[in-house]
Structure 1
Amino acid sequence: MDLGLHGKRAFISGSSQGIGYAVAAALADEGVEVVLNGRDAERLDGAVERLQGERPGARVSGLAADFSKPSEVARLTEALGDVDILVNNVGLFGLADFESISDAEWARYFEVNVMSGVRMSRAVLGGMLGRGQGRIIFISSESGVNVPADMVHYGMTKAAMLAVANGLAKLTRGTAVTVNTVLGGPTFSDGVAASVAAVAEAQSLPAEVMKQAIIGQNRTTLLERFIDPAEIASLVAYLASPRSSATNGAALRADGGVLTATL
């Protein structure tokens, strides 16, 4: 299906790997010029080369910035220029006992997970409204709706992303600009894969066995498997396209059918 995105330009934060990279690949398949982002310049260059190799002819570039540092974000926004599509994907993730989370850690999660989207949206929304078209998409999580007890700080930021996106959507009234959120579920991203591998090694088990054991314990997913990053990316590509013109201020689930009770 042609999503009508050929010739558009997109910036995806946190896109040197994982969901962000999958989103960039999906958009590149639709003829979008994509600007990747990562905090490590060498790794970012590698991601740009990888995507160009996988999609010959794709227009791909990269802008490095650490979203925990406002000064680097400011330099990024100055260098970025106009974009038609902004995907606020960058984020921190981790398990932690509530009593052990310091004020500094709370602030770090908020700075990266929430303020990244605030700063990037502030940089591009005016231009989108002036041109009368554009897409801003926040990559949140079902953890922002059903906050896990062992990730309260993470869940809080994902809930805050929902609030920011909802408010920004109200600024687009009467235009072809939309702001939406994707609520992802348990996704086998690079970070999750590394964590699974580490746990598997510690328990002297094959990584695939550990992967199935972890998702098997999660009886709140109808898929009964991890979501592939490309499955999240497919929904993002749709939201980025003109075909989603009637969807604004929405939170769309790509969570594998998360349930609220254990089966």
Structure 2
Amino acid sequence: MRIDLTGKTALVTGSTLGIGRAIALGLARTGATVVVNGRRQEAVDTAVAAIRAEVPDAKVEGIAADLRTAEGVAELVAALPSVDVLVNNVGIFNPQDFFEVPDEEWFRFYEVNVMSGVRLSRAYAPAMAERGWGRIVFISSESGLNIPVEMVHYGMTKTAQLAIARGLAKRLAGTGVTVNSVLPGPTLSEGVSEMLKDEVAKTGQSLEEAGAAFVRAHRPSSIIQRAATVEEVANMVVYACSKEASATTGAALRVDGGTVDTI
């Protein structure tokens, strides 16, 4: 299968690093015009340059905007009034005991992980429906199904994304716009690498070995028994954004290595 999104514009939020950048790179390879987003202009410029280095003929742009706030979302939409593909990837995570998470942190996680996608989908989906084609993908997590005891507040936001994506898919029934969630499991993004750096330094293991040890210890139901790569997650997202995925909507597409123990 050759995925071709030439002529389509794709926005990937939180795409200066990690899974987001890998998705942006994957979409750039399909011929789409890709818009990279992050909070800082320097980071956005670096990501755009990295994608152009990988795909010399890539049509890639960058917009710096903080999507935690309604104002930040409005700034982005003003700079980019219309898209064909929206990947709601921006997100934060931080292990913290339930009894130590203050109200402000609950609201911060909800604003970044949930409301950014709600606001952007509300802004872009109507025009997609009018044109008769569009793709919206929420990057959720297996933590939305297996709520992690060390990050209940994070798991809550990932469950919320599943509900929103399913409901929005139903709301857009028959329009040609599909809405799906993609659920990565433990993935060797920069954030996870940072979390594992002390273990790597202490044991002398490679990052991949430390990631596999983390999976065996904390996600023992994993079937692949290792962390995924960002490219493996991006592959699923690019497919969900493709013309070929026209009959896939309202779905929760797992790239969790079999961690969620259900059929």
CA distance in 2, matches of 1:122, 1:227: 31
| CA pair 259-125 structure 1, distance change in 2 beyond 3 A | closer
1:27 counterpart SS class: helix
CA distance in 2, matches of 1:211, 1:252: 22
In the alignment, residue 255 of structure 2 is paired with which amino acid? A
TM-score scaled by length of structure 2:
0.95
CA distance in 1, matches of 2:141, 2:211: 20
Whether the aligned pair in 1 keeps the contact of 2:144 and 2:159 (CA below 8 Å) is: yes
Q: Deviations over 1:8-60 (max 9, x none)?
A: 11000000010010001111111111000011110111110111111001001
What's the CA shift for 1:4?
3.1
Q: Deviations over 1:144-172 (max 9, x none)?
A: 01111111000000000011111111121
What's the CA shift for 1:7?
1.8
CA distance in 2, matches of 1:196, 1:100: 22
Q: Partner of 2:46 in structure 1?
A: 46
The 4+ residue runs of structure 1 with deviation greater than 2 A are: 198-201, 203-213
Q: Output aligned runs, 1:99-248, within 5 Å.
A: 99-201=99-201, 203=202, 205-208=204-207, 209-217=209-217, 218-248=219-249
CA-atom RMSD in angstroms:
1.4
Q: Partner of 1:6 in structure 2?
A: 6
TM-score scaled by length of structure 1:
0.95
Could you tell which deviates more after superposition, 84-93 or 74-83?
Answer: 74-83
What's the CA shift for 1:214?
1.6
Whether the aligned pair in 2 keeps the contact of 1:39 and 1:66 (CA below 8 Å) is: yes
CA distance in 1, matches of 2:24, 2:261: 32
CA distance in 1, matches of 2:178, 2:205: 44
CA distance in 2, matches of 1:126, 1:40: 29
1:6 counterpart SS class: coil
What's the CA shift for 1:259?
4.3
Whether the aligned pair in 2 keeps the contact of 1:166 and 1:249 (CA below 8 Å) is: yes
Q: Partner of 1:84 in structure 2?
A: 84
Whether the aligned pair in 2 keeps the contact of 1:85 and 1:136 (CA below 8 Å) is: yes
CA distance in 1, matches of 2:107, 2:214: 29
CA distance in 1, matches of 2:176, 2:261: 35
CA distance in 1, matches of 2:196, 2:89: 22
Q: Partner of 1:253 in structure 2?
A: 254
Long gaps (5+) in structure 2? none
Whether the aligned pair in 2 keeps the contact of 1:197 and 1:207 (CA below 8 Å) is: no
> Identity percentage over the alignment?
49
Whether the aligned pair in 2 keeps the contact of 1:136 and 1:180 (CA below 8 Å) is: yes
Whether the aligned pair in 2 keeps the contact of 1:14 and 1:38 (CA below 8 Å) is: yes
1:230 counterpart SS class: helix
CA distance in 2, matches of 1:92, 1:173: 30
1:186 counterpart SS class: coil
Q: Deviations over 1:43-90 (max 9, x none)?
A: 111110111111001001111111223212211111112111000000
Whether the aligned pair in 2 keeps the contact of 1:95 and 1:151 (CA below 8 Å) is: yes
What's the CA shift for 1:204?
5.8
CA distance in 2, matches of 1:231, 1:40: 26
Could you tell which deviates more after superposition, 169-178 or 14-23?
Answer: 169-178
Whether the aligned pair in 2 keeps the contact of 1:196 and 1:207 (CA below 8 Å) is: no
Q: Partner of 1:63 in structure 2?
A: 63
CA distance in 1, matches of 2:203, 2:187: 23
In the alignment, residue 162 of structure 1 is paired with which amino acid? L
In the alignment, residue 249 of structure 1 is paired with which amino acid? G
